[in-house]
Amino acid sequence: MPRTLSTVIAALAVAAAFLRLPTRTESSVTRQLENADSFTGNVLLLTAHPDDECMFFAPTILALTRLQRAEERSSRVYSMCLSAGNADGLGQVRKSELESSLDMLGIDADKRLLVDHPDLQDNFTAHWDEFTIASVLEPFVVEHDITTILTFDEQGVSGHPNHISLPKGVQQLMYTLRDIRLLRLHSLPALIKYTSILGPILLKFDLTINRFFNSVDRRGTAALERMGFSFAGLVPPPPTGPDPPVFVSGFREYWTAVQAMRQHSSQLVWFRWLYVAFSRYMWVNEWQEVTVRSQEPMARSQEPM
């Protein structure tokens, strides 16, 4: 029994160590952001419904707003939600809940917009028109000098068609505003999506091991080259540019995300509590940058689906 208890305590200690985020500005999150060119200007989080911001994007929002406060950067974090989530007739309630949630997550009141466009209403069976999304986005992006837009990817994390429509709308905007950068939240298979606290532990462990072996590789190669060995043509060049941003929350950030989710009291049915308890997105966000391939905008479809 004592051996079992000591094993459990040791495991918990390791988990706590991997989930703790240092309070100093040279934390791992800060280093990630400083090396990510995607976050050098004003950033807009684009969501479809109230509660998206805390269910899926909290690790990123908290990291960005934390860095903004710590370093007093001129760049700012903005939020745009395209609908009031009125599918069940609770639109007015959900607007108020969104404001409270964004307060918890640290996005300033003057840097938020809830659009509630008549053609962009909460509907689990409808895809939104990408041209309408682009037309709604453009004036806000121009006015606030947005350089990077964060949103869902083509799978929308949960498969919701409103989520899936958002990156298509941003890509349409990018034909007009060519300096805009789009980063999409990576959708995960269900088995990985619900690893909860194991997600950040395993990811941080993986990042630590990778850093260690990369350091050993660099030092070893440099030492051998000083001894006269040449690796020209034998060793592939290191990848250029920043790595895709990854944001990992600690206990404090996770609890803040839970408190933000609690502001959406109208949505807190039993299965959302399960989501809060087990979703990896409450702990980890992994991003992928997307560029538009063609120089010409897509043709407008006859009718949105």
Architecture of the CATH domain 22-188+244-270+281-290:
3-Layer(aba) Sandwich (3.40)
pLDDT for the residue 147 = 94
Residue whose token pair is 């964004």: 102
* Exposure letters 80-92 (e unless 16+ CB within 10 A, then b): bbbbbbbeeebbe
List pLDDT tens digits, range 36-84: 445 678 999 999 999 999 999 999 999 999 887 766 666 799 999 999 9
Alpha-helical runs (H) found in 72-147: 91-105, 130-143
CA-wise closest residue to 54 among 79, 86, 71, 37? 79
Q: Is the pLDDT of residue 34 over 70?
A: no
Contact, 46 vs 82, CB < 8 A? yes
- The H-assigned helical ranges of the chain are 2-19, 28-34, 52-55, 58-71, 91-105, 130-143, 161-174, 190-193, 198-226, 251-262, 270-278
How far, in Å, CA of 149 to CA of 284, rounded?
18
Most confident of 136-150, 234-248, 276-290: 136-150
Total residue count of the chain as it appears in this document: 305
Cα gap 152→173, rounded to integer Å = 15
Res. 99 pLDDT band, cuts 50 70 90:
very high
- More confident position, 138 or 225: 138
**Span 167-187, pLDDT tens digits:** 999 999 999 998 999 999 999
pLDDT for the residue 126: 93
- What percentage of the chain reaches a pLDDT higher than 70? 66
Average per-residue pLDDT for the chain: 80
Domain positions in the chain are 22-188+244-270+281-290
- Rounded Cα distance between 289 and 244, Å, is 7
pTM of the model: 0.78
Give the C-alpha separation, 7 to 10, whole Å. Answer: 5
* Least confidently predicted of 16-25, 214-223, 227-236: 16-25
pLDDT of residue 8: 47
Left if phi > 0, otherwise alpha if psi is -120 to 50, otherwise beta: which for 128? beta
